[in-house]
Structure 1
């Protein structure tokens, strides 16, 4: 299988604490991956490195078929290259409607002239309606985003990332604070997204991870401790000792 993202021998230290320790990780173009591990395992720092927020002390982060180094790119350039990130707390424009949020997120030229003169085309409106259907908010298009439930805001933010046509989606604890029904819909959303782009989900909820039905990477002290199916990694004694046994 071809590789979309390859992290190789990456380490980063903060004030003497080694947050990432010789980490290697790879994912293919349309693949779902769950990343689990105890607090402080390096999960967030891993995502920070991939998105350009944190620069590692050593190692390589290689992107796409042309094997470009992400370490030479700014955060904005990395986002433009097709890497989208969803943080744990949803960040949507609360005073704008669902429709306006999705329109703002569409992949478009971003110069100040094009932004000021932008008028949505019929194609844009149709695309937004299609996205709203995909995330289950087609009946809420005219509602202000601030009125949505926590779960709906999470879906809207996922929709805004999908509007940018990403090649890799990094999603941080999407199930946190959701009802069982919302969690189920979120699973479906992410599984569907993984048909067209790579999706990496950081999550603590093992039931949610099981429903994703994908390969699992376990991080511990900034390195990969185990990798494989959920059943494979949860029967690993090292994983039980450092994570599941707590």
Structure 2
């Protein structure tokens, strides 16, 4: 087993009496590719919100890295600096800038107004941008304005911008939504490649997309882990069929 990078243990969170997360425990290794599935209201988004510091749980622990740092109580910015990157469902790129400029702005460099003003184009930065562009399949689009890209290409660019920050954990929310079949296939390849050197957690509804990821799957239901294992293993679980697949989500 690879080393544990993130350990969520006994975490619970209620909103106005509704228990969104209920004694949730999940371990993520580094490197690892993990898919998280489950019906609407299962707690998938709240799970990511808690890891990234957007939401604070009522109880439990979220422990990070070799130094066993608690992420609870840390700001979203500090958690991001620790190496947690998150991609939301709707791509957020700088539409008026080129692909190259988007990636350059995202590179892991000193932050702050002065650092941005004094930013220099260096050979190492240029090589890093070229490498990321190749990884996300946008080498031929580096000079294009981001607003002109297709929906799928914007998703890849945003993944590239997160990779530029060199995260150890990448949380990706429903990347297949709105994509063509060809774009979905390319997206799985990008995520599988990224997961060779870091932890990548994909929250997804599209079962064919999850099957193509070919990774361990965690099924959430009512804020807890209902089943875990290969896709074939979890989709043959009677409880999973009852609460998720049987409701027409397959």
One fold, TM greater than 0.5?
Answer: yes
| SS of 2:152 mapped into structure 1 | helix
CA distance in 2, matches of 1:116, 1:9: 45
Q: Does 1:117 align with 2:98?
A: no
| SS of 2:240 mapped into structure 1 | helix
CA distance in 2, matches of 1:80, 1:204: 29
Q: Which residue of 2 aligns with 1:34?
A: 35
Q: Which residue of 1 aligns with 2:173?
A: 172
| 1:1-246 equivalent positions in 2, closer than 5 A | 1=1, 2-246=3-247
Provide TM-score, normalisation by structure 1: 0.99
Instruction: Please identify runs of 4+ aligned residues in structure 1 that moved more than 6 A.
Output: none
CA distance in 2, matches of 1:122, 1:128: 10
Higher mean C-alpha displacement, 122-131 vs 32-41: 122-131
> Which segments of 5 or more consecutive residues in structure 2 lack a partner in the other structure?
none
CA distance in 1, matches of 2:127, 2:228: 41
| SS of 1:28 mapped into structure 2 | strand
CA distance in 1, matches of 2:121, 2:204: 36
> Which segments of 5 or more consecutive residues in structure 1 lack a partner in the other structure?
none
CA distance in 2, matches of 1:234, 1:123: 46
CA distance in 2, matches of 1:129, 1:198: 22
Provide TM-score, normalisation by structure 2: 0.97
Q: How far 1:111 sits from its partner (Å)?
A: 2.4
CA distance in 2, matches of 1:144, 1:15: 44
Aligned CA RMSD, in angstroms, stands at 0.6
CA distance in 1, matches of 2:63, 2:22: 17
